[in-house]
Chain A
Amino acid sequence: MNERQDAVVVVGLRKVFERRARRGLLRRAQGEVKTLSAVDGIDFLVKRGEIFGLLGPNGAGKTTTIKMLCTLLSPTSGTARVAGHDVVREAAKVRSSLGTVLTGERSVYWKLTGRENLRYYAALYRIPRRKARERIAELLERLELAGRADELVEKYSSGMKQRLALARALLPSPPILLLDEPTVGLDPQAARNLRQTIFDLKAGGKTVLLTTHYMAEADELCDRIAIIDQGRIIALDSPAALKEGLGAKEVVRLEIQGEPNGLGDALRALALVESVAVRPSVNGAGTCELQVITSNSRRSIGPIIESVRAAGHEVVHFQVVQPTLEDVFIRLTGKSLRD
């Protein structure tokens, strides 16, 4: 019964890469084969009809996981089943039940037109020609590419290429979609449109497994999220439940002048402060951002600011906000997603 319900079942999945250190031009250093567990024993289920997100920083193992699921990489150990088929033993069946978009822009031919691309892939999916023609027209229409379907892909914008790659994945009407960072490199408007398309796919009964390192995107799109870091799943729940996991807490964001040496520890020592993360401010200007999770901002804000002043820093800016998934991640790993 489980097979029927769950689109993707992953149990103890691992992928270990070997890395050979190279010295000089050609010479390989002896005995320096290092192994790297890109995916280190993960378990999760994706239910039919849901949007499931793998959320994690760069190098967390998201792409590696997707590639094992779509049979482009063989797992080192563990099992994964897609639509009830084992990704190793029934690879061809897995590929027939999946539409996968890896790094979207690069998976289509730039010297072909959009329509020619789809025609080619339709042949590889062995869709009969007449049916393929209708399907291609329908997909071009649906993904708003119809007007420029007969132009070379090299003239398309990033968003259009991404949509074409999605059209390619949708050609065989697969019940399950794997999307690796679907909105990366898109402008906010295009990203929003793509998210809407993903919602439409879900409404059409498809199961979507996507990866992202945008917290807000995961929050908005996904029914459930697995937060993945260094090859391990460190939390898995709905976005709301993950945020509730922080309890009735609030986040104080401070921007201060200078290097906060030792300030983190001083803040952690304060009553009501749960955790502190520090990172250089993105806007440069020699400032730093502190994220302080507290169980009561009204009572802790005074001591926090005093501690900062006492350490000789000036507070440039501060705000108190409700926790986001970013804060969940910081709480779980002690570091920011952007680091």
Chain B
Amino acid sequence: MGILKRVRDGLGIMLAVAVKELIQFRRYPSWVIAVFIWPLLFPIMSVFSARALAGPEGQALHAFAALSGTTDYTGYIIVGLVMWMWLNMTLWTLGSFMRSEQMRGTLEATWLCPVSRLGVLLGATCSQLLISMVNLTVSLIAFRYIWGFRIVGNLGLTALLFILSAAAVYGLGIAFASLVMWVKEANAMVFLVRGLFMVFCGMTYPLAVLPGWMRIVSRGLPLTYSIDGIRTVALAGAGLADVMGHIAALAAFAVVTLVAGFVAFRWTERRVLRTGALGHH
């Protein structure tokens, strides 16, 4: 079979899965909350905590600026939280994609088709990406009007950092989905993983406030570099040279997590064929 035909088949399958997922997504009314309400509600708490800690005249802001390099704590928090919410959503969607297909019994029906099983998961990833983009756009527009959030730095560079982060996050998502298929439980796993990222990636605070050992853990998580890099570029207007390290780290993470994701998926696929765990619930 020609490589071109295979690519076309693969894309066709991804598209079919993505369309199916989007139709289903739209039919559960709670999607409005996921896309429009939650991303707006969630950052409010942190922004007001920060306002309280800064003092009425912003007396404490110089201390914050000394660690973070900016006094714009609203933008600072928004970048951190938006990135984290997006990771969170990816894990939920991919993890629960596998889980709900497994529980509904449709995973077996899907695997009965003569298609690449990984292609099916990638299709789900695509629809998730689309939903995330809508979500992200809604949040950014809203934050602009509510808190005057705006990106002052180079948009292209911001986008590059974001795309590299996306690759790393989706690699994680695929590994995660494989794991869920195996342990047959998504919730506890999501709580664990997102909790780790929440604490260690400097979502709402500079990493400098963490004890030394925690900072070492931080360096092992891709989102640390995404959040810091995007803040540096988007909020402080830094150039390419300033974030080369971030770009290199994120690229490395992307390669590692994507490979790990594929390996985990293949491994799970084989295991499931042996144990028959595909249809269990």
Chain A residue contacts of B275, Cβ below 8 A: 17-18
Chain B residue contacts of A214, Cβ below 8 A: none
B112 touches A95 (CB 8 A): yes
B276 touches A123 (CB 8 A): no
A125 touches B113 (CB 8 A): yes
A199 within 8 A of B: no
Out of B104, B106, B108, B114, which one reaches A92, CB within 8 Å?
A: B114
Which residues of B, 22-37, contact A by the 8 Å Cβ criterion?
23-24, 27-28
Interface membership of chain A positions 101-122, coded 1 if the CB is closer than 8 angstroms to chain B and 0 otherwise: 0110111111110001000110
Which residues of A, 101-157, contact B by the 8 Å Cβ criterion?
102-103, 105-112, 116, 120-121, 123-126, 152
Which stretch of A68-76, A271-279, A293-301 is in the interface? Answer: A68-76
Chain A residue contacts of B12, Cβ below 8 A: 123, 126
- CB A11 to nearest CB in B, in angstroms, measures 20
Given contacts A112-B23, A120-B16, contact A102 B114 (CB under 8 A): no
Which residues of A, 54-76, contact B by the 8 Å Cβ criterion?
64, 67, 70-74
B114 touches A125 (CB 8 A): yes
B24 touches A73 (CB 8 A): no
Which residues of B, 104-121, contact A by the 8 Å Cβ criterion?
104-106, 108-115, 120
A249 within 8 A of B: no
CA A165 – CA B105 in complex, angstroms?
A: 12
Interface of A, helix, strand, loop or mixed by DSSP = mixed
Out of B16, B17, B105, which one reaches A107, CB within 8 Å?
A: B105
B278 touches A106 (CB 8 A): no
Out of A73, A107, A120, A168, which one reaches B276, CB within 8 Å?
A: A73
Q: Which residue of B lies closest to A124 (CB)?
A: B113
A112 touches B276 (CB 8 A): no
CA A121 – CA B114 in complex, angstroms?
A: 11
CA A96 – CA B109 in complex, angstroms?
A: 13
Chain B residue contacts of A246, Cβ below 8 A: none
Chain A interface residues toward B at CB < 8 A:
17-18, 64, 67, 70-74, 92-93, 95-96, 98, 100, 102-103, 105-112, 116, 120-121, 123-126, 152, 165, 168
Would you list 19 pairs from A and B whose C-beta atoms are within 8 A, ordered by A residue? A64-B276, A67-B276, A71-B273, A72-B108, A73-B276, A74-B273, A74-B274, A96-B114, A100-B112, A106-B106, A107-B108, A108-B109, A109-B106, A120-B16, A123-B12, A124-B110, A126-B9, A126-B114, A152-B27
